[in-house]
Every structure is written in structure tokens, then in C-alpha cells.
């Protein structure tokens, strides 16, 4: 049975096109689902203490550093357990909502989701597929000024998820609002 991690990033909780589209994609996937709503349950921004903690050796990490990384560990576990990641996201000011960027910051962990080798960076979350439903009120999805799609495609590839499909939400959901 497949397992899907479903992430919604739109601040619009009632008439979001990206939420409607991502829900349709998830329903079509079947299997089990872990759901994370970045608007209803916002994630914290990383800070200097968190950045320092992520670089400590897990074997010698203090209890304080482990506590700082606990949410990040949970988010990464959600990714590791998923076969498919479905992300519903609107384009806000040409790019990702801050809530989605916070999630990206928390799951990008050296030696956990990526590592550096002699040949450059290597993603460690391989064998997964991502489907991103993108809604926009004016920026054409996939255009030169859609920095959300290109950023997510690059980021997901960086952590090892190279099978990424970007779908314009308007193409699969009933239009209500971006």
C-alpha cells in the first residue's frame, strides 16, 4: 500500500484552488495519508540556535539541541515514510508562501536529507515522487516569473526527490479562488 504525505500551504482556508487541487490528487492516489496544513499549524522560522544544533553530531548532541531539532526530525520522518509527496501551494509575490519556505528550511538537514560528496550535493530521500499543485492569481504557472515551481523542483531534487510533477491547479480543480 502506498503512503502519501499531503502538504497544503495556502493561507486561504476556505476557497483555495491549490488546496482543492491537492486534495483531488491525494484522493486519486489511494493508500494511507499523512496530512500537514502549514496555514492551520504554522511552523517556526529557523534561528541561529537551530542552525547550530543541526550541525552537531547526533551521538554527542545535548538535550537542548535535540529538543530544538525535534520538529525537524518529525517533518523529515514524514518525508521518509512517504512514497509520494503532494504539495498544494499558491504563488505569493512570485514565489512560495513563507509557511512552505519554513517547511523547506526545517527538512533540509545535512547528513539527514542531503550530503556533500566529492561530486557535489547528493539527496538522500530517493525513490519518491512529488506532485505539486500550483495556484496563481496572475503569474502563469511554469513561466519565467513563477519562482515557486522552479524553486520547489530544485529543492526537492536537492534532497533526492527528482521525480517532480508540477500541475497548474486550475487544470484539475473547480475554480474558486487562488
Residue 1, helix vs strand vs coil: coil
Q: How many Å separate Cα 100 from the centre of its chain?
A: 6
105: its cell numbers: 528550511
H/E stretch holding 115 reads strand 114-117
Pick the CATH number of 3-171 from 3.40.50.360, 3.40.50.300, 1.10.287.70, 3.50.50.60: 3.40.50.360
Q: Return the pLDDT at 174.
A: 55
- The residues, ordered by sequence, that sit 6+ positions from 45 with a Cβ below 8 Å of its Cβ are 102, 105
User: Annotated binding residue at 136?
Assistant: no
Per-residue pLDDT of the chain (178 residues; tens, 9 = 90+): 899 999 999 999 999 999 999 999 999 999 999 999 999 999 999 999 999 999 999 999 999 999 999 999 999 999 999 999 999 999 999 999 999 999 999 999 999 999 999 999 999 999 999 999 999 988 889 999 999 999 999 999 999 999 999 999 887 765 544 4
User: Annotated binding residue at 43?
Assistant: no
Could you tell me the pTM of the whole model? 0.94
Give the CA distances from residue 169 to residues 23, 88, 118, 135, 136, in Å, rounded to whole numbers and listed in that order.
11, 8, 39, 5, 8
> Cβ-count burial of 107 within 10 angstroms (0-12 exposed, 13-18 middle, 19+ buried)?
buried
CA-CA distance, 64 to 57, in Å (whole number)? 13
Q: Return the pLDDT at 140.
A: 86
- The residues, ordered by sequence, that sit 6+ positions from 72 with a Cβ below 8 Å of its Cβ are 50, 54, 106, 107, 109
Helix axes 63-81, 98-107, angle to 10 degrees: 100
The residue with cell 497548474 is: 168
User: Annotated binding residue at 17?
Assistant: yes
User: Annotated binding residue at 124?
Assistant: no
User: Within 10 Å of residue 12's Cβ, how many Cβ atoms?
Assistant: 16
Note whether 115 and 150 are within 8 A (CB): no
DSSP state of 93: T
Amino acid at each position: 500500500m502506498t503512503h502519501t504525505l499531503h502538504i497544503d500551504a495556502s493561507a486561504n482556508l476556505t476557497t483555495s484552488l491549490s488546496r482543492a487541487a491537492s486534495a483531488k490528487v491525494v484522493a486519486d492516489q489511494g493508500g494511507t495519508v499523512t496530512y500537514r496544513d502549514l496555514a492551520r499549524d504554522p511552523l517556526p522560522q529557523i534561528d541561529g540556535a537551530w542552525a547550530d544544533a543541526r550541525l552537531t553530531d547526533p551521538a554527542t548532541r545535548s538535550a537542548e539541541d535535540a529538543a530544538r531539532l525535534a520538529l525537524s526530525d518529525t517533518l523529515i520522518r514524514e518525508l521518509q515514510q512517504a512514497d509520494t509527496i503532494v504539495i498544494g501551494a499558491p504563488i505569493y509575490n512570485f514565489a512560495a508562501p513563507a509557511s512552505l519556505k519554513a517547511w523547506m528550511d526545517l527538512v533540509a538537514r545535512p547528513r539527514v536529507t542531503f550530503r556533500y560528496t566529492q561530486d557535489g550535493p547528493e539527496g538522500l530521500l530517493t525513490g519518491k515522487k512529488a506532485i505539486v499543485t500550483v495556484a496563481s492569481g496572475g503569474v502563469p504557472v511554469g513561466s519565467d516569473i513563477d519562482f515557486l515551481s522552479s524553486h520547489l523542483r530544485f529543492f526537492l531534487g536537492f534532497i533526492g526527490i527528482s521525480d517532480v510533477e508540477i500541475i497548474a491547479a486550475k487544470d484539475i480543480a473547480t475554480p474558486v479562488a487562488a
